[in-house]
Structures are given as C-alpha cells and as structure tokens.
Amino acid sequence: MTELRSPAVQHSDQITELQSLRGIAAVTVMISHCLVGYGPSPLLTRISGVFNGRAAVVIFFVLSGYVLTRSLQRGRFNRSSVLRFYARRIFRLYPAIWVASALGLAYLFALHWQIPPDRPGPVIQHSFRLDRFDTLHIVASFAGMTTFIIPQLWTIFVEIVSSIAIPGIAFAALYHRHWFVWLLGLALLVSFLVPNTYYHVTLYLVDFVVGVGLAVFGLVVGLFRNAPARSLVCIGLIALACMQFLPLDYWSPLANLLEMAVAASIIGTLVGASERVYLLRSRFLRFLGDISYSIYLLHFLVLCTVIKALTLLQQALGVCPDIYVLTIALACVTCAVTILLSWLTYVYVEEPGIELGKRVLRFIEQPRGVGGIKGTAVP
C-alpha cells in the first residue's frame, strides 16, 4: 500500500462523553440480563425492555467504528500502520476474553450443572448447552469464535470480523469517498438481504461503516456544532429505550437501522456539538467507561454465579422468596460484584495487555543491525 498522510481532522481525539456512553451501554446490558435472570415474569420482561440491550450493542458497534477509524487517522496510512492496528486490536480484545473464558469454564465445572437453578429465566435456560461441552467449542470460545462459555461473546466476534474490515473501509472513506458511498450502500443492502449469517455479522457490519463515516466526514459532525447536546442526547437515549417495544423481530434489519440512526445521532452530537454534556463527564461514569469491556464480558458469569448462591441460601434457610425480591437481590449483588471484578480485570489484565502489545510492537519495529548494533557489521 502506498504511504499516505491521513487528512486533517477538525474535532478532538479525546471526548470524555463517548467513554461514559460506552459505560452506560455496558451497564444497560447487565441490568437487562439481571431483570430476566428469573422467570417467567411478563412484568419483569417488559421492564427489561426499557433497558434495551440490543440498542446498547448497536451503540458499541457505531462507537467502535468511530474510535478505531480515529486511531488510524493519527498517522500515516500505510501497511505498517495497518499491521500495528491489527496487533493493538489483538492485545486489546483477547487477554480479557481469555480470563473471562477461564472463569466461565471454572463456573461450568464447579457450579452450573451441579446446582439446579431456582426458577431460571429464558436467558439462563438457553445458555451453556451441554451438547457443546467439548474440546472444539471450548477452544473456539477462547478464540472468540463461539458463545459456549460467554453467551454475549457473539458481539465480540462481530467486533473482531469488523475490525479486520475497518482499515479498508477507512481507506476508502479517507481517499476515495465515492468508494465509501458505495460501501455504505452495499453494507446497508446486505444487512436487509442476508442478515442471518453467523452471529449476524452481515446485519451489523453497516453500524461500523456508519461509525467510520462519523470519524472521517467533518461535515457530518459539523451539523451538530450548534445543537443543544444535552437535550438531543437525552431524547436519543429515551428513543433507544422505547425501540424495544416496536413490533419488530429482535434481529430485524429495520430495528437495527433505526437504532443505528439514533446511536449515530447521539455520537455525532457528543463529538460535534459545542455544548458539553457535563453529566457524562462525571468521574463515576468515566470509571464505568474505562471498565466497560470487562463489565460486558464478566457480568453474565457473575449473574449465573449469584443465582446459584441465592439458590443455596434459599435451601439453607428453607424459604422461597417472591421472584421480584430475588430479582432485586440478583441485580444489586451482580452489579456490585461485576463492577469490582471488572475493575480488577481492567487494572491487572486489560491495561497490562495493552502495554504488552505496545512492547511487542516496539520490539518488532526496532531497527537491528548485524551483531546487535544498528548500522554496523561484524568484521
């Protein structure tokens, strides 16, 4: 690939609100799963719909397209920078996947089939299929290719596949904008015509393409410059919460298109508007944003473990609490334990993994001469 300088970008690289938005999305998914941990309960199912986990995933995807493209724009766009991009993604995604998968495997061996859950909800019932408990599915889970150990890992698989494609999409958007228009149209068409591929990659690829467009086209972001950011973000989040109640299938391309448009509007507002959303700059929300990846990976494992613990506690006390009491206890304990465990994972797994990736890249790119001294030869 010919070495090219990325065009100048007019908006800031560091936008605190986007990190907080990622944290809100991760917590939304966690709470939605907690509310359907027990069942069946039509009321809890309706309440969980307000915490629209599907829309939260769309926010993740559009935001990833934006952030990853911004990382590619910081320097020269050449083969070396693309290889560095892929290496950083590997060290960013996989250490936490491996730790979460190891904890999940320990849970399966120690608890899942040994303690029958009390009144399990549909999400619990359809997870951890015994017929897939074999070496192939365990290895594939650690590789991020299947959801046997971590049910929500399907979104990370979509992220991995889309990360492979993003440099090419970003290149088209940066240097051949008419190509990008065709790519966007093609991705949108594919999402409607063939949405049901493996883990719905073709359904959600268009979300990443839109994120790339938000990062590259300053005119798009400029539309939000004088927008009332606080009002628009609030309206957008409320709209996403309500979309779960639309009469559309969960994997509907139309539902994804609507949620993608709202998510892109929220992100575009946070990036381009002169007005700042100070609530999203709070220390706690920024903290949740920092640990959001671990929250997303670990919360379901914690939720299942808490259900087992509550089951043992009920048996020991000889009581059968109301399902709503159990759900409140489940949500509170799961959120508290997940946040603590995610912070530890972020500090001791994610950050060291990122640093290891930087060291590996520096080692690979370090010039070497014969005999260990640059530019010298052995006499």
State the average pLDDT for the chain: 88
Alpha carbon distances (Å) from 364 to 267, 352, 360, 368: 35, 18, 6, 10
Measured CA to CA, the distance from residue 163 to residue 157 in angstroms comes to: 10
Rounded-to-integer distance, Cα 272 and Cα 63, Å? 14
Classify residue 308: in a domain, yes or no.
yes
Counting the structural domains of the chain, the total is: 1
How much is the average pLDDT of 45-64? 93
Look at residue 181 and tell me whether its pLDDT is greater than 70. Answer: yes
Q: What pLDDT score does 4 carry?
A: 52
* 79 occurs within a structural domain: yes
Average pLDDT (140-163) is 93
What is the mean pLDDT of the segment spanning 44-61?
A: 92
Per-residue confidence (pLDDT) for residue 369, from 0 to 100: 55
Q: Give the pLDDT score at 300.
A: 96
pLDDT at 373: 42
pLDDT at 112 over 90: no
Evaluate whether residue 1 is within a structural domain: no
> What residues does 5 pair with on adjacent strands?
76
Residue-range definition of the domain harbouring residue 203: 17-364
- Residue 370 domain-assigned? no
Determine, yes or no, domain membership for 374: no
For the cut 50, the answer to whether the pLDDT of residue 89 exceeds it is: yes
C-alpha–C-alpha distance, residues 48 and 34, integer Å:
8
Does residue 7 sit within a domain?
no
2 within domain boundaries: no
Judge contact between 334 and 66, C-beta under 8 A.
Answer: no
317 is a domain residue: yes
